[in-house]
């Protein structure tokens, strides 16, 4: 998964910055990286300014990442760290983290702008002159931005963000900058007590597996970078309440959910505005792509009318304020992913010509037409004896 984001692997002499929230699993991931690096017959050096070598070794033993060619050093002084590099002569160096390193050749406190810039510049120079690959761990601010000067991202060759929710085992590495490959790739991982593992086909994590369809669910295909991912939207309509109806969303942009609700009420004449509406995604997935608008609308309509949407149908399209459906980018990749995972029907905006084998396309110009398509598909399933 990390090779995918890097564009094939680490380039000799490159400097990679991996940033993420505290406790998301950056150190666990990089211990797995240096372990696999050592297993391939190369030497790695893990420099930590946050933990002792004994603490790192305990984690490495727990996750099964110990190897004779992995060298550990608890060091926060840059000059001493450069001495370790010269002595060990590794081909991969992990610095955890760049904010904890300091140098006497620059003013300021450890973790300050001046110190971070000086440390990164020195490590980058070492990487370019010796040909060793360096991975820097970076802290993030409360807003999610990389801590330190903005020039830090300009100095390095690759910038990656490590994301994940503490309540979920799913972790994602997202490429932000890559001088050696595509900068919009995504790698998926699962974090366990005994380590971290890559997920080659993560679409199944975002689907709620059930034998029979139920009302209030809809499936879409989103693009995260270049990777198509299947996501499921679940909706629940509460009883009409006096005053302000409640809107609760999880994994979906609340502003777009409110807009889609208004479009359903105004353009499709569904009286859903006075009801409590609850929207959620499955598996901790975040649907920020406008292509999920149609799936959200169909999930709300399915819950309101209590009409189950067949489990072999996907909905892809952006919903406009006029109720029209608009095509989205990468439709060919989205439909190919849906066909690969066994979906047989796709509700999409008109104008798509290339359709994968085994997939039937139902086009709709507007949201009212999409709701009619949903009702027709459900009626056909019921007439065929419940076959999905």
Contact 1, 122 (CB under 8 A): no
The position carrying tokens 């060793």 is: 132
Q: What is the pLDDT of residues 2-48, one digit of tens each?
A: 999 999 999 999 999 999 999 899 999 999 999 999 999 999 999 99
Looking at residue 211, what is its pLDDT? 67
Instruction: Tell me the CA end-to-end span of the chain in Å, nearest whole number.
Output: 34
What distance in Å separates the CA atoms of residue 141 and residue 113, rounded to the nearest whole number?
14
The position carrying tokens 């490495």 is: 60
Which of 135-144, 223-232, 258-267, 379-388 has the least mean pLDDT? Answer: 379-388
Looking at residue 241, what is its pLDDT? 67
Task: Identify which of 298, 179, 185 has the alpha carbon closest to the alpha carbon of residue 233.
Answer: 298
What distance in Å separates the CA atoms of residue 129 and residue 111, rounded to the nearest whole number?
25
State the pairing for strand pair 275-281/313-315. Answer: unpaired
Looking at residue 387, what is its pLDDT? 46
Looking at residue 388, what is its pLDDT? 43
State the pairing for strand pair 275-281/227-240. Answer: antiparallel
Q: What is the pLDDT of residues 62-77, one digit of tens each?
A: 999 999 999 999 999 9
Residue 150 CB burial class (10 angstroms; 0-12, 13-18, ≥19): exposed
The yes-or-no verdict on residue 386 having pLDDT over 50 is yes
Q: What is the 3-state secondary structure (H, E, C) of the chain?
A: CHHHHHCCCCCCCCEEEEEECCCCCHHHHHHHHHHHHHHCCCCEEEEECCCCHHHHHHHHHHCCCCCCCEEEEECCEHHHHHHHHHHHCCCEEEEECHHHCECCCCCCCCCCHHHHHHHHHHHHHHHHHHCCEEEEEECECCCCCECCCCHHHHHCCEEEEEEECCCCCEEEEEEEEECCCCCCCEEEEEEECCEEEECCCHHHHHCCCCCCCCCCEEEEEEEECCEEEEEEEEEEEEEECCCCCCEEEECECHHHHHHHHHHHHHHCCCCCCCEEEEEEECCCCCECCHHHHHHHHHHHHHHHHCCCCCCCEEECCEECCCCEEECCCCHHHHHHHHHHCCCCEEEECCCCCCCCCCCEEEECCEHHHHHHHHHHHHHHHHHCCCCC
Instruction: Tell me the pTM.
Output: 0.80
Q: What is the pLDDT of residues 157-214, one digit of tens each?
A: 999 999 988 778 889 999 999 999 888 888 999 998 889 999 888 877 777 766 678 8
Q: Which run of H or E residues covers position 156?
A: none
Helices marked H in 78-163: 78-88, 113-130, 151-155
Q: What is the mean predicted confidence (pLDDT) over 309-332?
A: 94
Looking at residue 313, what is its pLDDT? 94
Q: What is the mean predicted confidence (pLDDT) over 80-86?
A: 95
Q: Report which listed range, 134-143, 204-213, 379-388, is most confident.
A: 134-143
- DSSP, collapsed to helix, strand or coil, labels residue 90 as coil
The yes-or-no verdict on residue 364 having pLDDT over 90 is yes
**All residues at 6 or more sequence positions from 49 whose CB lies less than 8 Å from its CB, including other chains:** 74, 75, 76, 95, 96, 97, 100, 101
234: phi then psi, degrees, rounded to nearest 5: -120, 135
**Across all residues in the chain, what is the average pLDDT?**
91
**All residues at 6 or more sequence positions from 55 whose CB lies less than 8 Å from its CB, including other chains:** none
Q: What is the pLDDT of residues 95-132, one digit of tens each?
A: 999 999 999 999 999 989 999 999 999 999 999 999 99
């Amino acid at each position: 998964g990390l090779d995918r984001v890097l564009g094939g692997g680490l380039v000799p002499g490159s400097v990679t910055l991996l940033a993420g929230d505290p406790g998301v699993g950056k150190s666990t991931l990089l211990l797995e990286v240096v372990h696999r690096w050592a297993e391939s017959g190369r030497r790695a050096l893990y420099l930590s300014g946050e933990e002792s070598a004994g603490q790192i070794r305990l984690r490495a033993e727990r996750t099964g990442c110990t190897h004779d060619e992995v060298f550990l050093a608890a060091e926060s002084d840059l000059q001493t760290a450069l001495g370790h590099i010269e002595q060990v002569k590794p081909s991969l160096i992990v610095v955890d983290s760049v904010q904890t390193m300091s140098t006497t050749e620059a003013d300021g406190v450890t973790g300050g702008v001046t110190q971070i810039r000086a440390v990164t510049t020195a490590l980058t120079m070492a990487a370019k002159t010796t040909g060793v690959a360096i991975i820097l761990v970076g802290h993030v601010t409360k807003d999610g931005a990389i801590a330190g000067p903005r020039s830090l991202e300009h100095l390095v060759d690759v910038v990656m963000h490590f994301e994940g929710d503490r309540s979920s085992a799913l972790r994602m590495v997202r490429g932000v900058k890559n001088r050696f490959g595509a900068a919009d790739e995504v790698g998926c991982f699962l974090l366990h007590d005994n380590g971290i593992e890559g997920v080659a086909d993560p679409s199944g994590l975002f689907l709620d597996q059930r034998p029979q369809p139920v009302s209030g669910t809809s499936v879409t295909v989103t693009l995260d970078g270049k990777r198509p991912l299947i996501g499921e939207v679940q909706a629940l309509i509460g009883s009409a309440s006096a005053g302000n109806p409640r809107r609760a969303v999880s994994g979906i942009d609340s502003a777009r959910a409110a807009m889609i609700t208004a479009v359903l009420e105004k353009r499709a004449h569904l009286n859903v505005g006075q009801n409590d509406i609850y929207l959620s995604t499955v598996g901790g997935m975040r649907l920020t792509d406008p292509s999920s608008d149609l799936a959200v609308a169909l999930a709300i309509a399915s819950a309101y009318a209590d009409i189950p949407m067949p489990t072999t149908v996907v909905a892809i399209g952006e919903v406009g304020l006029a109720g029209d459906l608009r095509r989205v980018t990468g439709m060919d990749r989205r439909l190919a992913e849906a066909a690969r995972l066994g979906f047989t029907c796709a509700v999409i905006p008109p104008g798509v010509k290339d359709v994968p084998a085994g997939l039937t396309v139902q086009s709709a110009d507007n949201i009212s037409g999409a709701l009619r398509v949903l009702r027709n598909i459900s009626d056909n399933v019921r007439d065929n004896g419940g076959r999905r």
